[in-house]
A and B are shown apart, each in its own frame.
Chain A
């Protein structure tokens, strides 16, 4: 597919993919990368980074590095799990509403508006508080079921514009069934929007999960970056000078967010050639500098 090959040539995409792959590999091989257990006291409290403990220890004597790499699993699972649910629901409902129109459109719009109007984070706080100590799975499900509305809107409006195109009319004239038109004529032209929606949703899920746990609504027994932030905050890590306790999960979250954002920019650039700047202009800039031409 032309889109994929272009994506692979894009520098932003490559950097993003490499970082993401690195994080995923670290998460997958976590048990092999550290001999410590993430939940056992293996050192003295708040020890700075050393050869024994690469990122130091927490207030309770746990190894920060071990907790970090095990925590990656939870963050990735929740992020991609919830992100997938959000993107799936959003895309399916969006295409249905946009293509079918009429009553189906009205009904989907009604529910979308309903979910859109309800403020996301407060709703999550209420549900999480109600459930008590929400495990990452519960958080992922809650996120998946409440955050799809924006995606439906975007997908629907793009579907509306694609529906007018001649090749869709041609497929209708040939007698293609509706589901085939939605799946094979419209959807392939939505891939960049769906991709951006998906990755955006993953970023959103990762950050929101961390937020909920940081605020104390998560299950304190899980090992995740959000809980690490929660523990570090409770231990007043920064005030006592144990910066590694707080900054490690911060840095990890930032890195994950960065890699996903780069991939998103790359998809956008590939889908919309007018956004291409930077690396693709390197050659042009060189030629102008040596005086081969001007604008």
Chain B
């Protein structure tokens, strides 16, 4: 059974006089343990989809009737507030773009973990501390950092801590919306490599959203390309790279300067 099953998802933003169709009839699945990438430029709707899976939208966003989102067989759109609270963090966890800025600046790292663990499982402080140490080890951060405040750590470390918090309740699906765009290329590589290893070890699925197609091909199993609200191509990573079917995918590849070999279609430097 698929971990995530999105069927006929349509999301609109309702304005005073017009309606903007942000997501148009998108369908895709993610298998257990799969790393699925969703690529596209700004405004294509990829973040809108990510928010919809966790039901994080606010008005004027509207998920149209007829859309279906199922996580591990459960209809996400039918969950009430209580069920949603239990659903978030346990079944699905999300890492946002500047997630390193979403850590509470007045709480120590240990307290951030305690906050999540206690709220969702009623864990006691000592138990939460042990679990936090365990999780920090997973992301290669020394346990003495538990008593530090977010501003005392680098951006890359904070992002890793956010990922560790996401893993706290062993979710089945982790959604990452441009998790490394604000980070340097070496830090980006470290973090994604770590997530890939954790995925193989713990077995969760990943929905990875970014505009960096080259990065996505390096780490994803399958990739979906979005253009203006529509999913125009879905295929395994190597096929997307070597034999893209859709014009837009080809256009995206052509627009990227390459580090080795031919520059791009237009070699303009003398």
Within 8 A of B (CB), among A117-164: none
In the complex, which of the residues B55, B57, B59, B67 has the most CB atoms of chain A within 10 Å of its own CB atom? B59
Type the 1/0 row for A252-287, where 1 means its CB is closer than 8 Å to any CB of B. 000000000000000000000000000011011101
- In Å, the complex CA distance between A281 and B15 comes to 8
Distance between Cα atoms of A293 and B67 in the complex (Å): 9
* B58, CB-defined interface residue at 8 Å: yes
Contact B14 A295 (CB under 8 A): no
Shortest distance in angstroms between A254's beta carbon and chain B's nearest beta carbon? Answer: 31
* Complex contact B64–A292 (CB within 8 A): yes
> Is B60 in contact with A292, judged by CB distance below 8 angstroms?
no
CB contact between A283 and one of B16, B65, B77 (< 8 Å): that residue: B16
A281 engages B63 (CB within 8 Å):
no
Question: For chain B, which range describes its interface: under 10, 10 to 19, 20 to 34, or 35 or more residues?
Answer: 10 to 19
Contact with A along B44-69 (1 / 0, CB 8 A): 00000000000101111111110100
CB distance from A281 to the nearest CB of B (A): 5
Complex: A283 Cα to B62 Cα, angstroms: 11
With beta carbons under 8 angstroms apart, the residue of B55, B60, B65 that contacts A284 is B60
Q: Does A288 contact B (CB under 8 A)?
A: yes
**In the bound complex, how far is the Cα of B65 from the Cα of A285, in angstroms?**
14
Q: Is the CB of A292 within 8 A of B16?
A: no
> With an 8 A cutoff between CB atoms, is B70 at the interface?
no
Residue of B nearest to A9 (CB): B16
Q: Is A165 an interface residue when CB atoms closer than 8 A count as contact?
A: no
With the chains together, A293 CA to B22 CA distance in Å? 14
Verify B63–A293 contact, CB threshold 8 A. yes
Interchain CB contact under 8 A, B60 and A291: no
Give A294 to B52 CA distance when docked, in angstroms: 11
Which one of B14, B59, B65 has the highest number of Cβ atoms from chain A below 10 Å of its Cβ? Answer: B14
A293 touches B16 (CB 8 A): no
Q: Classify the interface of chain A: helix, strand, loop or mixed.
A: helix
Contacts A280-B16, A283-B14; is A293 near B60 (CB within 8 Å)? no
Task: Pick the residue among B15, B55, B65 that contacts A295 (CB under 8 A).
Answer: B55
Picked from A280, A281, A287, A294, the residue with its CB within 8 Å of the CB of B77 is A294
Asked if B62 contacts A293 (CB within 8 A), the reply is: yes
Q: Is there an interface contact between A295 and B64, defined as CB atoms closer than 8 Å?
A: no
Known: A283-B14, A283-B16, A284-B14. A294 touches B62 (CB 8 A): yes
* Interface contact A287-B57, CB-CB below 8 Å: no
Cα separation A293 to B55 with both chains bound (whole Å): 13
Q: Is the CB of A295 within 8 A of B59?
A: yes
Complex Cα spacing A218 to B32, Å? 79
Note all chain B residues with C-beta closer than 8 A to A285: 59
- B59 contact set on A, CB distance < 8 A: 281, 284-285, 295
A94 to chain B, nearest CB (A): 29
Q: How far is the CB of B11 from chain A (nearest CB, A)?
A: 8
Q: Measured between alpha carbons, how far is A287 from B18 in the docked complex, in Å?
A: 13
User: Is the beta-carbon distance between B16 and A295 smaller than 8 angstroms?
Assistant: no
Query: Taking CB as reference atom, which chain B residue is nearest A286?
Result: B14
B12 CB-CB contact with A under 8 Å? yes
When the two chains form their complex, are residues A295 and B60 in contact, meaning their CB atoms are under 8 A apart?
no
**Given A280, A281, A293, which contacts B65 in the complex, CB threshold below 8 Å?**
A293
The answer to whether B58 touches A293 (Cβ under 8 A) is no
What's the minimum C-beta distance from B235 to chain A, rounded to whole angstroms? Answer: 30
Q: How far is the CA of A285 from the CA of B14 in the complex (A)?
A: 10
Are B57 and A293 in contact, with the CB atoms below 8 A?
Answer: no
How distant is the Cα of A287 from the Cα of B64 in the complex, in angstroms?
10
Bound CA span A285–B57, Å: 14
Give the distance in Å from the alpha carbon of A229 to the alpha carbon of B236 in the complex: 80
Residues of A with Cβ closer than 8 Å to B? 280-281, 283-285, 287-288, 291-295
Question: What 4 A-B pairs are tightest by C-beta distance, nearest first?
Answer: A293-B62, A284-B14, A293-B64, A284-B60
Interface residues of B (CB under 8 A from A): 12, 14-16, 55, 57-65, 67, 77
Q: A281-B60, A283-B14, A294-B63 are in contact. List 4 more A-B contacts (CB 8 A).
A: A283-B15, A284-B62, A295-B57, A295-B63
**6 pairs, A vs B, C-beta closer than 8 Å:** A280-B16, A281-B59, A281-B60, A287-B62, A293-B64, A294-B65
